[in-house]
Chains A and B, each alone.
Chain A
């Protein structure tokens, strides 16, 4: 158990809909990262937050947004969903920056868009 909690574990929805994925980092971790894992694209970095502020941005679509709340949990919002958004979405946390050497990953939220 990494200490990172993601909900829901599985989600099935239709095209055009909006979903919210939630992540609770390990106790004491200030940074939260979101990744998308799909079969053809591997693991893609989406966005990072540190202590409530956006720190780094990767290949995140404009239809997607995220935020980190004062209690340090984070939410990833996916809107106007398309079939290609079906993937496993991982959240990871670390104490400060990844330069400490280790990210702690949750078990992921599997999104299926029909």
Chain B
């Protein structure tokens, strides 16, 4: 079945460092891909999305490119802030109205 694999955390970086959180997926066909973010004590919220190959989603300085050849959707940010500390979930939607989430990657940013 469809699945999402993302790098295990926690990831700890200093402020202004470059961030990459890896995400790969297994799916038939052409799924839509998402990154959701969960701040402490809150529910998940959509960060960015891409619906077809080579699309780039971006929001709040974060970017991710849908790479069908490598089945990847890595999340990147050029300069992280303390306020980016959260748990990040990669997800896919393919068929039958289910969205499949990865296990989440906890990110800590040190001032």
Contacts and interface: CB of A to CB of B under 8 A. Distances in A.
Interface of A: 2, 4, 31, 33, 35, 41-43, 45, 48, 50, 55-56, 58, 90, 92, 97-99, 101-108
Sorting the interface of chain B by its residue count into under 10, 10 to 19, 20 to 34 or 35 or more gives: 20 to 34
A107 B99 contact: no
Given A2-B43, A107-B41, A101 B97 contact: no
Contacts of B27: none
A16 B106 CA distance: 33
A102 B104 CA distance: 18
A45 B34 CA distance: 15
Which 8 A/B pairs are nearest by Cβ-Cβ distance? A105-B43, A42-B103, A43-B101, A56-B97, A105-B44, A102-B46, A107-B43, A98-B99
Interface of B: 32, 34, 36, 41-46, 49, 51, 89, 93, 96-104
A106 B38 CA distance: 11
Contacts of B101: 35, 42-43, 45
Contacts of A108: 43
Contacts of A105: 43-45
Contacts of B89: 43
A48 to B, nearest CB: 6
29 contacts: A4-B43, A31-B97, A35-B101, A42-B102, A42-B103, A42-B104, A43-B89, A43-B104, A45-B98, A45-B99, A45-B101, A50-B97, A56-B97, A56-B98, A58-B98, A90-B44, A92-B43, A92-B44, A98-B98, A99-B32, A101-B34, A101-B46, A102-B49, A103-B36, A105-B43, A106-B43, A107-B42, A107-B43, A108-B43
